Amino acid sequence: MAAVERKRVLVVFHSHEGNTRSLAENIADEIGADLSEVVPEKVVPSGPMKYFWGGSQVMMGRKPPIQPLSSDIGSYDIIFIGTPVWAWTYTPPISTLLKEHPFSGKKVALFASCEGGPGKTLEKMKEALKGNELIGEEWFFAPLKKDTEATLKRARDWARDLMIKA
Ligand SMILES: Cc1cc2nc3c(=O)[nH]c(=O)nc-3n(C[C@H](O)[C@H](O)[C@H](O)COP(=O)(O)O)c2cc1C
């Protein structure tokens, strides 16, 4: 009998304060995917200044330098991409990721962590990822802020269902 080829799956994410990281870790654990964090070379200020600083980075369309990824995007078949919502869209380090890495002909699933709503985050990511097949998109309320267990379970269920259909 011929061996069934196993699809290579990666969860790649940016997280400034840990919420998207906890979603990404749970998703990767649930579906047995590799995990890779997008780390900006310069750290964003914390405290109230982060809103001003982060928001202005988005408004100016910045693509800040990021550290080399621990995984080679090109070698995966299915890629989950996670971002915090900043100023109603994805973060500048994710902009850098999408610009610098070979996303093309992949199956992609998008997720976002926010405290109000995703705004245009998922639409804009889809726009930037044209040429890939979208297999799912979802947003979650910041799991470290409230309903941690329920939110992480929802993320796990969502990812598992997508993998069954993918
Ligand atoms: C600069 C900045 C801008 C933000 N803008 C939004 C926003 O437009 N809408 C929203 O719902 N949450 C917004 N938030 C809240 C984050 O999206 C939310 O806390 C998210 O869960 C953070 O993810 P992280 O912990 O992985 O960094 C913003 C946070 C920061 C730091």
Give residues (CB < 6 A) around ligand 1.
15-21, 50-51, 54-55, 84-88, 113-117, 119, 142
* pLDDT > 70? residue 48: yes
Helix (H, G, I), strand (E, B) or coil at 151: helix
Residue 4 has pLDDT above 80, yes or no: no
Helices (H), the chain: 19-31, 49-59, 92-100, 121-128, 148-165
State which fold the 9-165 domain adopts: Rossmann fold (3.40.50)
Where do the structural domains in the chain lie, given as residue ranges?
9-165
The pLDDT tens digits of the residues spanning 117-156 come to: 999 999 999 999 999 999 999 999 999 999 999 999 999 9
Q: Report helix, strand or coil for 18.
A: coil
- pTM (predicted TM-score): 0.96
Q: Measuring from atom 23 of ligand 1, which residue has the nearest CA?
A: 84
Calculated CA dihedral for residues 71, 133, 141, 92, nearest 10 degrees: 60
- Has residue 1 got a pLDDT over 60? no
